[in-house]
Structure 1
Amino acid sequence: MVEFKFGKPPVEEAAEGISIECQRQLQPFIEEIVSAAVAAGWNQKDVLLALVELAWDLYEKRSADL
């Protein structure tokens, strides 16, 4: 199981700080997913786009719940 370690959210420039922290923790996993897909013959651009679409879908679903 993957473990993420987030502290308290940044107070100043919250959006930028959140983005930086998420990128720091998620980038290695995303790179690993993309590398595995490419090694299996998938198109890197398509895999990255699918991940963006997945993130956007999750955002939209969560926004509807708020």
Structure 2
Amino acid sequence: MVGFDFDSPPADGAEANLSAECERQLLPLVRGIVEAAVAAGWSQEDVLLAMVELSWDLYEKRRGDL
């Protein structure tokens, strides 16, 4: 399991900070998944779209099984 390191949220609730922090921590993981899938013959666009769809489903359903 990959570990993530988040500080306390900023007092002003700046969403840009959260987006930047998520991007900083998730980009290497996402890049690794996409590279492995492409190396196995999957379409990069399809893999990225599947990740977006999964993220949106998790957002809509607010799953507790994360």
Q: Please tell me the TM-score bracket, short chain as reference.
A: 0.7 to 0.9
Kindly report the root-mean-square deviation, in angstroms, between the aligned alpha carbons of the 2 structures.
Answer: 1.5
- Structure holding more helix per residue: 1
Q: Determine the C-alpha separation between the residues in 1 that align with 2:4 and 2:27.
A: 12
Match for residue 12 of structure 1?
Answer: 12
Aligned positions of 1:1-66 closer than 5 A: 1-12=1-12, 14-62=14-62
| Displaced runs of 4 or more, over 6 A | none
Q: Determine the C-alpha separation between the residues in 1 that align with 2:20 and 2:43.
A: 27
Q: Which runs of 5+ in 1 are unaligned?
A: none
TM-score by length of 2: 0.88
May I ask how many residue pairs the two structures share in their alignment?
Answer: 63
State, as a whole percentage, how many aligned pairs show the same letter. 62
Q: Determine the C-alpha separation between the residues in 2 that align with 1:10 and 1:24.
A: 17
